[in-house]
Amino acid sequence: MNSRPDSNGLSAWGDTPRPRGAAVLADPLLNKGTAFTERERDLLGLRGLLPPRVFTLEEQLHRSLIAVRGKATSIEKYIYLTNLQNRNEILFYRLVMENIEEMVPLIYTPTVGEACLQYGSIYRRPRGMFLSLRDRGHIAEAFRHWAQPGVRLIVVTDGERILGLGDLGALGMGIPVGKLALYTACAGVHPGYTLPITLDVGTDNVELQAGPAYIGLKDKRARGAVYDEFIAEFVAAVQDVFPKALLQWEDFGNTNAFRLLNQYRQQLPSFNDDIQGTAAVALAGVIGALRLTKSTLARQKILFLGAGEAGTGIADLYVAAAQAEGLTEPEARARCWFVDSKGLVVKHRGDKLAVHKLPYAHDHAPITSLAEAVRVLKPTALIGVSGMPATFTQEVVETMAQLNARPIIFALSNPTSKAECTAAQVYPWSGGRAIFASGSPFAPVEFNGQSHVPGQGNNIYIFPGVGLGVLVSEAREVTDEMFLVTARTLAQLVQPEDLAVGRVYPPLTKVREVSLKIAVAVAAAAFDAGLAAVPRPTDLAADISARMFQPVYRNYA
């Protein structure tokens, strides 16, 4: 994965004519901008097309960092970085990787939420593919229009449930673009292998339909047979045109997310990051927290606020992990409780429960509020995946602290504006005893003379490594066992110095190291299960490490 791939995964150009002049500058994987040497400018026909001074990559990096920091708002920084990515990917990824803690919040959560809301007005040039219902019958043809035929990794959304922001339709393209940038920056997947896709099936967001800047279809969202046939054609086209591609389903609504995952996961290698990636990162955080509470998974009682993809995905993975510790499946499920928009999820509540909630609908009297549910059920861990801000109130947090010496409180909803509570709230309200993690980053909090560093329970620790492991093993299926192995691997990478400040995830500066470890674990699971389509290397870690993309300029002379 180090060199730019063509359809055979070979290095740039191969037997095709070498691009010259403006064509070189227009290709972000070939363009070095002002770093082209005098010799390269003559060789590639760039004489007169660039300013005369030749810069080193390091000098370009310095200039770009100054430019980013000179922007007044996060969305302005996002726009600058997007333009840089579209112009010079080597420089873009070098900038992100060397300033990972500063740049990730700008290219992904929380800024990507605002970027999606404004995507119609900040859209400059296409990145990825928009496939709409108007393309029915021509999706495979459209795929062949893509400049890079050797696609190995696709992130696709239909825009129905973008972060905690809801139905954004075609504006959700910011999510696949951002996710794939993280695959490269955090796990070394070559950007030439990646393809972001938005499936435009309409939107039920009436404000978007009426807005002058909306770039998608202004029809109501398609449902039923029309939707299903469109998805079926899309999947068949992926298999036909990009037969080695891994497909990541992203930000689909609850109505479709579970059934699409279950319908297609054995038809082509695919997974849903909102269900499985979130589950793995949350379970890893819980396992890390148990090193502080000196307890076990089998002894936990977890209360979830939000009973959608993320919550039930976490519960399902917890059940698998607790069974490995000796609980039966019914015993493990009985330790997971949910509060949704109508109150505690119980068997005889009166409304018709969605299928994914039924395994966690227990026999219990109705409870309408989260605060009452905490008092009655006495959970050891409270996990927010609701997209409802400020729902972990002072009363809720204080009750958790009364019930537990070290309450586990994860406010995982994204972006920051949707977090169930903030780090600045949870530590004082819990007397500094909460073990806290959040989906978006929060600054450290000083309380009672101690520094508390909140962990970021973000899927950035999970999906890049999972994808890399699947790609290098050419696994035919992405299994639930792979995500359980991933959660345990991530938890093991949390160091004593992290736990000492209350952080249950490694610092983001180590994310590339984390991704490599997870890729090795996932690939090993594929080989062990007989799912890999390639021979197993003698040294799996060395083989994967050698394939990881490094943002360095090619010498064209």
Bridge pairing between strands 455-456 and 336-340: unpaired
d(C-alpha 253, C-alpha 170), whole Å: 14
Catalytic pick among 32, 77, 179, 418: 179
pLDDT at 288 over 90: yes
| DSSP helix, strand, coil percent of the chain (3-state; round to 5) | 50, 10, 40
- Residue 420: count of CB within 10 angstroms of its CB: 30
pLDDT at 2: 41
Residue 179 is a catalytic residue = yes
CA atoms within 13 A on the CB side of 493: 25
pLDDT grade for 17, boundaries at 50, 70 and 90: low
Residue 154: strand pairing partners: 195, 247
Region of poorest pLDDT, from 5-14, 219-228, 522-531: 5-14
What's the sign of the alpha-carbon dihedral 494, 387, 417, 303? negative
Q: Cis omega (within 30 of 0) on the bond before 444?
A: no
Find how far residue 426's CA is from the centre of its chain. Answer: 25
Instruction: Give mean pLDDT, residues 536-547.
Output: 96
State both tokens at 282: 């949350």
CATH 3.40.50.720 in the chain, residues?
276-458
| 392-426: pLDDT as tens digits | 999 999 999 999 999 999 999 988 899 999 999 99
Residue carrying structure tokens 């309409």: 202
How far lies 60's CA from each of 34, 40, 98, 231, in Å? 8, 17, 13, 43
Bridge pairing between strands 153-157 and 246-249: parallel
Q: Considering only CA atoms, which of 137, 308, 116 is closest in space to residue 203?
A: 116
| Helix (H) or strand (E) run with residue 451 in it | strand 450-452
| 462-476: pLDDT as tens digits | 999 999 999 999 999
Catalytic pick among 78, 108, 183, 264: 108
d(C-alpha 98, C-alpha 102), whole Å: 9
Residue 244 is a catalytic residue = no
Mean pLDDT of all residues in the chain?
A: 94
Q: Cis omega (within 30 of 0) on the bond before 551?
A: no
Side-by-side strand order, sheet with 153-157: 129-132, 194-200, 153-157, 246-249, 270-272
Q: Considering only CA atoms, which of 357, 378, 458 is closest in space to residue 415?
A: 458
Bridge pairing between strands 381-384 and 408-411: parallel
pLDDT grade for 23, boundaries at 50, 70 and 90: very high
Instruction: Give mean pLDDT, residues 121-136.
Output: 92
pTM, two decimals, is 0.94
**CB of 422 within 8 A of CB of 442?**
yes
Bridge pairing between strands 194-200 and 129-132: parallel
d(C-alpha 195, C-alpha 144), whole Å: 12
Burial class (CB in 10 A: 0-12, 13-18, 19+), 542: exposed
pLDDT at 13: 39
Instruction: Give mean pLDDT, residues 224-236.
Output: 98
Residue-by-residue DSSP string for 295-327: --GGG--EEEE--SHHHHHHHHHHHHHHHHTT-
CATH 3.40.50.10380 in the chain, residues?
56-268
| 349-362: pLDDT as tens digits | 867 888 999 999 99
pLDDT at 99: 98
Q: Selecting from 3.30.70.3270, 3.40.50.460, 3.40.50.10380, 2.60.40.420, what CATH number does the domain 56-268 have? A: 3.40.50.10380
CATH code of domain 276-458: 3.40.50.720
**CB of 385 within 8 A of CB of 304?**
yes
